[in-house]
Homo-oligomer: A and B are copies of this chain.
């Protein structure tokens, strides 16, 4: 998809849209019973501080996130957005280290010094929302 000459890495597909929800069962029911989507069982990701339900949309998926334990990354978001809301988008890249070098050159702040292991067991980074038009952007090495 990425066709700009001089890039040493390629942007890929939209991996998921993450939605933080105050009530996971209610959110699951909305996607399953109201919209008729195929949804997963609840997946516990204690190392990421979230319960997750995946909503399959064919070309990509939604990830419903609910806080698990203290220090969950979605607790603060839900305090500000009590009914829930869109939390981040995740786009795939082919080479996360090359992407990081390019982002640093472009003065885009990355929220960690090194990539972390994300919810899918792959390397991820998050970009500062203020440098991305108010959107928390996750890049995942596909």
Q: Interface 1/0s, chain A 27-64, versus B by CB < 8 A?
A: 10010111111100000000000000000111110101
Flag if B13 contacts A84 (CB, 8 Å).
no
Interface segment, one of A68-76, A117-125, A126-134: A126-134
Flag if B60 contacts A36 (CB, 8 Å).
no
A12: Cβ under 8 A from any B Cβ: yes
Flag if B36 contacts A7 (CB, 8 Å).
yes
CB-CB under 8 A from A3, the residues of chain B are 36, 38
CB-CB under 8 A from A58, the residues of chain B are 1, 12-14
Check A11/B134 contact, CB under 8 A, given A86-B86, A89-B86.
no
A21 vs B1: C-alpha distance when bound (angstroms): 23
